[in-house]
Chains A and B, each alone.
Chain A
Amino acid sequence: MALLQNNFPTFLQGFGYTLLSSIIALIGSMILGTGFAIMQIVPQKWIQKIGNIYVQVFRNIPLLIITFFFFLVVSKYIKMSGFTSGTVALMLYTSAFIAETVRAGILAVNTGQMEGARANGLSFAQAMRYIVLPQAFRISLPSLGNQFINLVKNSSILAFVGGLDLMYQGNMIAANTFDTFSTYIIVAIFYLILTLPLSYYIQHLERKLKRAA
């Protein structure tokens, strides 16, 4: 407890950066992931190919390597901090998984929904936006929830590039106080403060959408 009291501002700062990174990466990866999911199901073969290559590349490389790539290589050309490198890497990495999840959701929506919409005069984009995607998100909500929770936990890679996040501050505090055990318990609790409400919120949404259907 004294450990928490003495280092509270530091923990809190780490918590803030983890939260910020998670929110940015979550929003970004949802947008990118949905975009690449749609690219993989449009009629044009070459667009499908690009979408598929993107997903395969980012899904099959360890997140840490993507992070180092941005921190060590890209940052030579575009100035960016450890926090930015880590957040961008996290966003791209997660977006590949989200693309797969959303794509599976789109494929699970009855093809009659798209046909009905097109026959009704909607463009492909309108049919996607108003009819297919809302149903696809609902179908993929449980696995999207998993991706979001993984994302929050994976944000701990920021620690490897001086990202000032919860894990980074935890490492610092543990090194200074030598109280490794208590420090990481506190760090774990801070992660739970983020992930548990997220889990419950997703479960709540699932139930709510099930009732609406």
Chain B
Amino acid sequence: MSMIEFKNVEKYYGDFHALKNVNLKIDEGETVVLIGPSGSGKSTLIRTVNGLEEIQEGQLLVNGFDLHDPKTDMNRIRKNVGMVFQHFNLYDNKTTLENIMLAPRLVLKRDEAENKKIAMELLEKVGLADKAANMPSELSGGQKQRAAIARSLAMRPKALLFDEPTSALDPEMVGDVLDVMRDIAKDSSMTMLVVTHEMSFAKAVADRVIFMADGQVLEDSTTQEFFDSPKEARAQQFLSQVEHH
């Protein structure tokens, strides 16, 4: 079953055409990496999936609901679709533990003892059990991002969106975050859409790679196909650029 499906989606920022006739299907449990040059529309695309950006034309089906239909309850979509941001967006006024417990308490009405147990397990899983009582300002970038991932997981989402989760991190912090993501990808029911420049992560974890440029999806291939024999000239060019880094 497809978890996320774009059908002839058009997105504009005022006059600027940011997504051009996007067609895309991501199945439940798939891990898909989205790459492309800066300004190509990767963030825009991923942000439409949980309604942070509206689309103007076409259909965008997430978990069976059409986001372009005004009757669709966006809060219900977001319960099932978590998002991890480049700049973490942790709640600055809450401790790490509260960051994780807040949404399950308010949105899912999860029982408090149960909520705490799940939150502590997640903190354990991302290696932050000892930071439960700390404020976000007291965490390193890598710790913040792992806390943010734990916060998303606490909602038990069906899909997770990652928008350059390691781009704001010092190089030595990147590995820990990618390890956590790799771990999540092993869960066969979790759908993941990841914007990243970490090609080794893409090669190791992704089922598919989508390449975007100028608001268009130029290539949509299996990971092996994409890295072995990219079809599009722009994708080839992009790959040779990032691999020289």
Interface residues of A (CB under 8 A from B): 110, 112-113, 115-123, 126, 130-131, 134-135, 138, 212-213
Beta-carbon contact of A115 and B82 below 8 Å: no
Beta-carbon contact of B137 and A130 below 8 Å: no
In the complex, what residue of chain B is closest to A117 when comparing beta carbons?
B91
With A112-B85, A116-B85 in contact, is A121–B93 under 8 Å at CB? Answer: no
Min distance, Cβ B28 to any Cβ of chain A, angstroms: 20
**B residues near A110, Cβ cutoff 8 Å:** 92
Interface residues of B (CB under 8 A from A): 50, 52, 75, 78-79, 82-83, 85, 87-94, 102-103, 106-108, 135, 137, 148, 151-152, 155
**A residues near B50, Cβ cutoff 8 Å:** 119
Beta-carbon contact of B155 and A123 below 8 Å: no
7 tightest Cβ-Cβ pairs between the two chains A and B: A116-B89, A119-B83, A112-B89, A121-B107, A120-B103, A121-B78, A121-B103
Secondary structure at the B interface, as helix, strand, loop or mixed, is loop
Q: Assuming A112-B85, A134-B93, what are 5 further A-B pairs, CB within 8 angstroms? A: A113-B92, A116-B88, A116-B89, A120-B155, A121-B78
**B residues near A131, Cβ cutoff 8 Å:** 91, 93-94
Secondary structure at the A interface, as helix, strand, loop or mixed, is helix
Beta-carbon contact of B102 and A118 below 8 Å: no
Min distance, Cβ A156 to any Cβ of chain B, angstroms: 37
**A residues near B52, Cβ cutoff 8 Å:** 115, 118-119
Q: Provide the bound-state CA to CA distance between A113 and B136, in Å.
A: 12
In the complex, what residue of chain B is closest to A134 when comparing beta carbons?
B93
Beta-carbon contact of B91 and A121 below 8 Å: no
Min distance, Cβ A117 to any Cβ of chain B, angstroms: 7
Min distance, Cβ A169 to any Cβ of chain B, angstroms: 43
Q: Provide the bound-state CA to CA distance between A122 and B135, in Å.
A: 20
In the complex, what residue of chain B is closest to A129 when comparing beta carbons?
B106
Min distance, Cβ A139 to any Cβ of chain B, angstroms: 11
